[in-house]
Amino acid sequence: MCVNSYLSHLERRIGNILKSMSIEEKVAQLQSISVDRLLEGKNFSEEKAKQLLRYGIGEITRVGGSRIGLRPREAARIVNEIQKFLVEKTRLGIPAIVHEECLAGLMAPTATVFPQAIALASTWSPEIVNRVANAIREQVLCIGSRHCLSPVLDLCRDPRWGRCEETYGEDQYLVSAIGTAYILGLQGEDISKGVIATTKHFAGHGFPEGGRNIGPLHAGLREFMEQHLYTFEVGIKVGGALSVMPAYHEIDGVPCHANKWLLTDVLRGLWGFRGVIVSDYSAVLQLNTIHRIARNCVEAFKIALEAGVDIIFPDIICFDDIVKAVKEGLISEAVLDRAVERVLRVKALLGLFDNPYVDETKVPEILDNEIHRKLALEAARESIVLLKNDGVLPLSKDIKTIAVIGPNANEPRNMLGDYHYDAHLGKDSTSVNVVTVLEGIKRKVSKDTKVLYAKGCDIYSQDRSGFEEALRIAREADVIVAVMGEKSGLDPTWFGLKQEIVQHTSGEGVDRSDLRLPGVQEDLIKELHKVGKPIVLVLINGRPLAITEILPYVNAVVEAWFPGEEGGNAIADVLFGDVDPGGRLPVSIPKSVGQVPVYYSRKPSAFRNYIDVDSKPLFPFGFGLSYTQFKYSNLVVKTPDVNPFGYVEIEVTVENIGKRPGKEVVQLYIAKEFSSVARPVKELKGFKKIYLEPGQTKRLLFRVPTELLAFYDSDMHLVIEPGEYRVMIGRSSEDIQLEGKFRIVGEKQIIQHRKHYFSEAIEL
């Protein structure tokens, strides 16, 4: 069957189903239900299903991520039993979509725990992220789920915000490149054999007022469209994402779940989005309870539906009242049909009408496997960023005694991000083997090396009682590896828990007014410094940490983020020099919280100094040291004059002039010298991660479509503006090695539909 015939057949099939549906059956397709409500223990309850699923359902919430803790075969069995009930025991026999959280691995017991999203971004490798997403897709399909609520395409512009760890950083170009690679890996080449990706949180969620989760976004329309919307446009137009989740917050008084301009005019009208818009968890109810623009549940549903939301997550809301409102004409049945049609179309594209079942005989006892663990190790290695090194690193494997100290040195649970299963559900143990830094070091050193360990202190507590033991082993050691940082999870108050006990300092709902190391960790570092031994600080954390005060007290700093199950091995590989640290920062690290926001691509007027500190970050976007040295030379702008809708071609040579092999991230920034509206001081427009042996040279060609230089002018037209542009090639946004110029000639051009979003980076 040809493509057009297939699509025509698909639309006829959807139309026929829609015509035969009752109001109750239509409303049911726009709702979801938690799998836990359909279970008795770990078994599917048909009695509960007869009550809750009698009209069908749009989606099932988190079978793999159930709080009950279903093993893979149990999850697959329950998915099949739910689908069998829906197909055989409801009037229309419409299967459900099962959705999961998949931020850095399937959020389910025994699934592979890849590095957290911020760490994946630090790889600056879309290729690795694409492979990670492919692995996640395999594990999601294994249990019968078909929809993932990821990736997060928000820009982390305020690191006080606890969900910074879920993002790919602060820059729209990098976030778009990493996010698109993830979407393509998750959905695959054939969506009937793939998993739906959900771009979220639409849009601007990463720059909330005061850094407080779901706080209002304060951004002008131009900034909002050029930066915060850009990542989603790319994810949809290039990545082909089939699901979008609006954000919790409001923009200039209009909550995103009620924003028709955002969800319908831009998303569907301007960008041509054809998938489903799914609500964030309880966000539709928040139109009543938090934003107070709806008087009750039904009115909240009506507002969201009319704005463009298609499915309500995570559970059924005011079902009977909605049905009644439709029958009485308070909610338009035509608007209802529009959403139902979209849901049915996605189910058809997934192939659920033809086969909604998973082959239980092929489901393993555990999802994690050797191949995916190796990938988790590779991703963690590539993500580690070396921030400081006075020569103490790499360490010798034959060193006599190492003291490994700190609250994150030997806590497997603390290696996980907030949407890894065990962290998300607040568990102390882990369902897969997670290698700690202490374990990684022990595996790496020679049999004659003595490895001592002391926790020293907790993450958040003020208790100093562990200092004495930490100082004792520090005095015995030749070098100290201090493993500090944060602990990720959800806001403990949501579950009636105390912060002092749970000690979450990063994650959803875990926002901070201070960016220094929490608790007494800085005090411990200062006490260890008095011992007089070299100190290597390893950071396990989710947000940029302002380590200004303790930086002089340590000899080296390794930023590892939340590195996942193989994090300890990856960190040890870097500490002992088996792997060159090839990660680069996807966010700027401030000197203090008072500098926020400190992202690199601010406007020229934003760089005025304070009376007590300058406006530069402690470590800039794109920064990362290596164990070798790289030399940049021979920058050539091959197109000094380029027409609108043309290509700028830039060549540069990079040489490894050190004695060790290593990876360098070559970064291309461009700025317009003078513009009709104020523009950022520079913007990333291309990058390439390359491997070089000692003495090896590579020539790179960047081919940049001029559309990448477009911006919204004073009339809010997206334009390519003629004039002079500055080219900057560097090792970070601050460490610019070479500069050049080119001109766009001719008349200003208005772009009606953008076609290009990325530059090419080619090794010649």
Neighbouring C-alpha atoms within 13 Å toward the C-beta of 338: 15
The partner residues of 760 in beta bridges, in order of sequence, read 703
Count CB neighbours of 548 within 10 A.
Answer: 16
DSSP annotation of 82: H
* Cα distance between residue 283 and residue 304, in whole Å: 10
Alpha carbon distance 178, 120 (integer Å) = 8
Q: How far apart are CA 533 and CA 475, in angstroms?
A: 8
Q: Is 471 helix (H, G, I), strand (E, B) or coil?
A: helix
Rounded to the nearest 5 degrees, what angle is found at the Cα of 625, between the Cα atoms of 575 and 579?
40
Could you say which DSSP state residue 211 is in?
G
Residues labelled catalytic:
280
- Of the candidates 552, 570, 727, 460, the one whose C-alpha atom is nearest the C-alpha of residue 122 is 570
Task: Please tell me what DSSP assigns to residue 31.
Answer: B
| Distance set, CA 485 to CA 528, 546, 719 (Å) | 16, 11, 44
φ and ψ at 314, to 5 degrees?
Answer: -100, 0
| CA dist list (Å): 203 to 156, 182, 207, 482 | 12, 18, 10, 38
Residue type, 524: L
Question: Over the range 743-756, which residues count as b (16 or more CB within 10 Å of their CB) and which as e?
Answer: bbeeeebebeebee
**CA angle (646 as vertex; 178, 755 as ends), nearest 5:** 45
SS3 assignment, position 316 = coil
Distances (CA, A) of 510 to 160, 272, 418: 9, 35, 10
Copy the structure tokens of residue 423. 């962290």
State how far the Cα of 277 lies from the Cα of 255, in Å rounded to an integer. Answer: 15
Question: Could you tell me which residues are beta bridge partners of residue 683?
Answer: 670
CB 641: neighbour CB atoms within 10 A? 11
Kindly give the pairing relationship between strand 147-148 and strand 196-202.
Answer: parallel
Using an 8 Å Cβ cutoff, are 540 and 414 in contact?
Answer: yes
Token look-up 């590989």 returns: 573
- Residue 325 tokens read as 């409102």
Question: For the stretch 234-264, what's the b/e string if a residue is b when 16 or more beta carbons lie within 10 angstroms of its beta carbon?
Answer: bbbbbbebbbbbbbbbbbeeebbbbbeebbb
Which DSSP string corresponds to 342-388? HHHHHHHHTTTTT-----GGG--S-S--HHHHHHHHHHHHHH-EEEE
Number of C-beta neighbours around residue 427 at 10 A: 16
CA distance 268 to 262: 9
Q: How many alpha carbons fall within 13 Å on the CB side of residue 655?
A: 9
Q: How many other CB atoms are there within 10 angstroms of residue 541's CB atom?
A: 27
Task: Single out the residue of 166, 315, 307, 183 nearest to residue 238, CA to CA.
Answer: 183
The Cα–Cα gap between 553 and 548 comes to 10
**In whole angstroms, what is the distance from residue 240 CA to residue 262 CA?**
18
